[in-house]
Structure 1
Amino acid sequence: MEHGVIESMPLWLSIPFVVMLLFIAIGPLLFEHWWEQNKNKLIVSLALGIPVVLIMASRGLLLNVEHQILFDYVPFIVLLGALFVITGGIHLEGDIEAKPSINTLFLAIGGILASFMGTTGAAMLLIRPIIKTNIERKYKVHTILFFIAIVANAGGMLTPLGDPPLFLLYLRGAPFQWFFSLAPQWAFVVAVLLAIYYFTDKYYHKKETPKAIKQDHEHIEPIKLKGNINFLFLLGVILSVALLNEHYIHKIHENHYHGFIREGVILLMAVLSLIFTDKKMRYESNKFTWAPILEVAFLFLGIFITMVPALMYLEQNAQSFGLTKSYQFYYATGILSSFLDNAPTAVSFHNLALGLVGDPNAPGLVAHISEVMLKAISLGAVFFGAMTYIGNGPNFMVKAIAEENKIEMPSFFGYILKFSLIVLLPVYIVTQLIFL
């Protein structure tokens, strides 16, 4: 942090941040009904955040909090909110034959779309159609599990729009086009997971009864895409993030407040989506509600405030943690991203890497840190977000929709033991051995 008075940041001031993350991790497990109410999430965020603001103000560091809210939290929520609104206006319907090749194609399309409409947007667009396509089949849990891994996580690697941790790294100086350099790792992981899924689905397809196969073959509804105008608004968001930044508009570099031009255009795209999308399709066919984005807004308000002391502590004490290799950052970011939200985890390790750099403005750095470190943090945060239901926002949403449709999903620990440890982790280890 370069704003406010530079002084040693005590570790105990990071306690509210840790408590905030623990609430997110164990809240749905220990007090589900109380935690599912968004007002209670806001209460927790304010109860933990306000004391941090007061303490930081008493230390002359209020500017650090203000900067975090204005230039990290606001752009973050504006982007996620706009993607949520725009993708909520796109409706895909139909029922085609649930052959292994068709299901694999579904996941592959989702793995591409996720980078450009966000993992949440792609997951919400495709989860109901793929459930409907597989409705006649008995064995479909594995399809939802791979859907979480590919569409709700790994697919979002190619742009800052894809996954929240990448957008936060973009806000810290990583150019929009830099994320395309992660294409080899994205292609490798997505391709390997698709291959594993194809042969898994082929195995289960052979176990289906002849009656189920016959019904699936006979019950066909053509695929229809509605709300196509929203792709124009989505393009507007992509171009805003790609072009309306300090790399192309020097005034933004001179005065951060000019950066809100980008947020203004993104908000305009969301408003246009609300105006021009058929209301019945949005609210009835897509079952659109504001609750999910309010949940994100309330939770991340607490996260962004309470993480300020933690980020300062990490940057000031980076040398003492013993993390100096890219593979160490990959696994450390990945492990924490599995059980905590991957967005603040990525920012935390970015600050840790920042503390290892002598001159953050030296040539050859990306987002003021070593490029290989930035790759390790990005890959760890996005890929390992699929290791548990709580690693990334869309995971729980996909699980909930599957269970609404009478698909018996594994428990929290069942998911880890039966899927992520035996399928995902080996793929991620091989990825590290090849690329880092």
Structure 2
Amino acid sequence: MGHAGRLGVFAALLPALLPGSAWASGADGAHMSLLWGLPFAGVLLSIALMPLLAGRLWHHHYGKIAAGWSALFLLPFALVYGVGEAWGEFTYVLVTEYSPFIILLLALYTAGGGVLLKGRLVGSPLTNVALLAVGTLVASVMGTTGASMLLIRPVLRANAFRAHKLHTFVFFIFLVGNIGGSLTPLGDPPLYLGFLKGVSFFWPTEHLFAEFLTCAVILLAIYYVIDSLAWAKETDIPVHDGTHQPLRIEGWVNIALLGVVVLGVLLQGVWHPGEVSLLGQPIGIERLVAMAIFLCVTFASVALTPNALREANGFAWGAILEVAKLFAAIFLCMAPVLAILKAGMAGAAAPLVALTSDAAGAPVPWVYFWMSGVLSSFLDNAPTYLVFFNLAGGEAGRLMTDGALTLAAISCGAVFMGANSYIGNAPNFMVKAIVEEQGVRMPSFFGYVGWAVVFLIPVFVLLTFLFF
């Protein structure tokens, strides 16, 4: 298509992008067309399809492709709303959303990669179930990302000899990367946002435990059956030589550093000294202090961890670089989609929003569960949680009491269904990247979604009837 043709296509789409008779200020979802979501759809389809259809091109240029989709959002946005508004949208995402996200992830990735579990660890079905169960429990203490980074490499080493092991890493994402983080605000970003909004620290522990236990027990049982069948097909199982090789941890300094990260996360919920301006965007001082702590943890981990330990752990920087590049585009391009959802009944997503209430105006918990969940599967689950938290009234005191069932539905939807795709929660894509870095082939984007449809969706249907 020539230059004139491209201009013609853009001219045809421009009226649908415009907000009508009055411009909105920034990403005001009440005045935005659903067409603003096309770049976000482009990012998702690129992640899903290009590794299959143009794998060589994708692996060498995924960062440029992601940047291209970002430009396809920002440039029309600048044309419609003005360069100043486009710069404001870019800096808002950079300062308040992306930077805190990626700096925390970097600290967890670096420190987690500096912990080495040594000793005899053979990936039998019982061993694997034990590892997944421990990770599922630890995730609510150190976060789904922290638990994933701590345990994914031991699971990889334990199963290195196995020919049939893909299912182990899929269920690892289900359980350790998502469902395990449902019991405290430290576990998963959606619950942490609820904590910042006034939901008490142990409210999820009390009100989500039954849902958590149901999911965890069912999925661990299913996994054990699948892994037992796969184990029966293995032909190269290591023979025990009779020597005693006790499990031991090396890199204890990184365990301490992971504790510092947890304290840094908790700090942001209890200390609010005020705000400052960064690139024209207001940001809490506590968030800047936390980011500084996380960067210090990263540098300390690099300085204090012997290179030989990281090499023995199979540590490399490629996975975090891939996550950083792709999620930069995801965060930016999903901004208008979230803005439209935040607009509620005033936005283009009003027909969806209307489903959350019955004829009398009362909330419908099971609709909140599925709507927050399905959107969390493809949008970042933290802001999606916040959208539905506010849609349900946004008052923590009332939601924890009279609206407890609705708040539980939103919380479970955002945390549990973040497991439905690789981009639903940060650990998902990171685990995939680490596993593939070690030479293990993971399912494609749609292949993974297929696993979720087969094993997760029936469990979520059961949860709907049991609890919502």
Q: Following superposition of structure 1 onto structure 2, how do residues 352-367 of structure 1 map, counting pairs within 5 Å?
A: 354-355=390-391, 357=393, 360=394, 363-365=397-399
Identity in percent: 37
Q: Deviations over 1:33-76 (max 9, x none)?
A: 22224532453254234325524445857645533332222211
2:337 — aligned with what? 310
Secondary structure in 1 aligned to 2:177? coil
Say which of 90, 103, 127 aligns to 2:115: 90
1:327 — aligned with what? 366
When structure 1 is superposed on structure 2, of 247-256 and 234-243 the one drifting more is: 247-256
Alpha-carbon distance, 1:121 to partner = 4.2
Question: In the alignment, does 2:466 pair up with 1:434?
Answer: yes
2:452 — aligned with what? 420
Secondary structure in 2 aligned to 1:256? strand
Secondary structure in 1 aligned to 2:315? coil
Query: Do the aligned partners of 2:274 and 2:284 also contact (CA within 8 Å) in 1?
Result: no
C-alpha spacing 1:65/1:96, structure 2 compared with 1 (3 Å): closer
Number of residue pairs matched by the alignment: 423
Say which of 67, 72, 80 aligns to 2:92: 67
Secondary structure in 1 aligned to 2:274? helix
CA distance in structure 1 between the partners assigned to 2:320 and 2:439 by the alignment: 25
CA distance in structure 1 between the partners assigned to 2:166 and 2:330 by the alignment: 33
CA distance in structure 1 between the partners assigned to 2:329 and 2:370 by the alignment: 26
CA distance in structure 1 between the partners assigned to 2:116 and 2:306 by the alignment: 10
C-alpha spacing 1:331/1:413, structure 2 compared with 1 (3 Å): same
User: Which structure: larger Rg?
Assistant: 2
CA distance in structure 2 between the partners assigned to 1:249 and 1:177 by the alignment: 20
Query: Do the aligned partners of 1:94 and 1:133 also contact (CA within 8 Å) in 2?
Result: no
Alpha-carbon distance, 1:229 to partner = 0.9
CA distance in structure 2 between the partners assigned to 1:406 and 1:5 by the alignment: 42
Question: In the alignment, does 2:419 pair up with 1:383?
Answer: no
CA distance in structure 1 between the partners assigned to 2:65 and 2:55 by the alignment: 12
Q: Deviations over 1:301-347 (max 9, x none)?
A: 22333333322222224354223123223223333444x3x51x552
When structure 1 is superposed on structure 2, of 260-269 and 317-326 the one drifting more is: 317-326
Alpha-carbon distance, 1:423 to partner = 2.7
Taking structure 2 as the reference length, the TM-score comes to: 0.75
Taking structure 1 as the reference length, the TM-score comes to: 0.80
CA distance in structure 1 between the partners assigned to 2:303 and 2:461 by the alignment: 46
- Let me know the Cα RMSD of the aligned residues: 3.9
CA distance in structure 2 between the partners assigned to 1:41 and 1:159 by the alignment: 37
Say which of 314, 319, 325 aligns to 1:287: 314
Q: Deviations over 1:60-116 (max 9, x none)?
A: 576455333322222112211111111121122333344433221111111123334
C-alpha spacing 1:219/1:192, structure 2 compared with 1 (3 Å): farther
1:297 — aligned with what? 324
1:241 — aligned with what? 265
* Matched AA of 2:247: I
Say which of 234, 256, 264 aligns to 1:232: 256
CA distance in structure 1 between the partners assigned to 2:177 and 2:99 by the alignment: 23
Gaps of 5+ in 2: 1-23, 357-363
* Matched AA of 1:379: C
Say which of 147, 152, 156 aligns to 1:127: 152
Alpha-carbon distance, 1:242 to partner = 1.0
Say which of 283, 286, 291 aligns to 1:263: 291
Alpha-carbon distance, 1:289 to partner = 2.8
1:10 — aligned with what? 32
Alpha-carbon distance, 1:377 to partner = 3.6
* Matched AA of 2:341: L
When structure 1 is superposed on structure 2, of 78-87 and 375-384 the one drifting more is: 375-384
CA distance in structure 1 between the partners assigned to 2:238 and 2:319 by the alignment: 38
CA distance in structure 2 between the partners assigned to 1:213 and 1:8 by the alignment: 60
1:29 — aligned with what? 52
Say which of 197, 214, 217 aligns to 2:223: 197
Query: Do the aligned partners of 1:159 and 1:166 also contact (CA within 8 Å) in 2?
Result: yes
C-alpha spacing 1:378/1:96, structure 2 compared with 1 (3 Å): same
Gaps of 5+ in 1: none
Say which of 86, 89, 101 aligns to 1:76: 101
CA distance in structure 2 between the partners assigned to 1:120 and 1:216 by the alignment: 33
1:48 — aligned with what? 72
Secondary structure in 2 aligned to 1:249? coil
1:187 — aligned with what? 213
C-alpha spacing 1:218/1:56, structure 2 compared with 1 (3 Å): farther
Alpha-carbon distance, 1:381 to partner = 3.3
CA distance in structure 2 between the partners assigned to 1:163 and 1:317 by the alignment: 25
1:148 — aligned with what? 173
2:12 — aligned with what? none
C-alpha spacing 1:251/1:353, structure 2 compared with 1 (3 Å): closer
* Matched AA of 2:259: L
CA distance in structure 2 between the partners assigned to 1:117 and 1:257 by the alignment: 23
Q: Deviations over 1:133-161 (max 9, x none)?
A: 34555654443332232223322333455
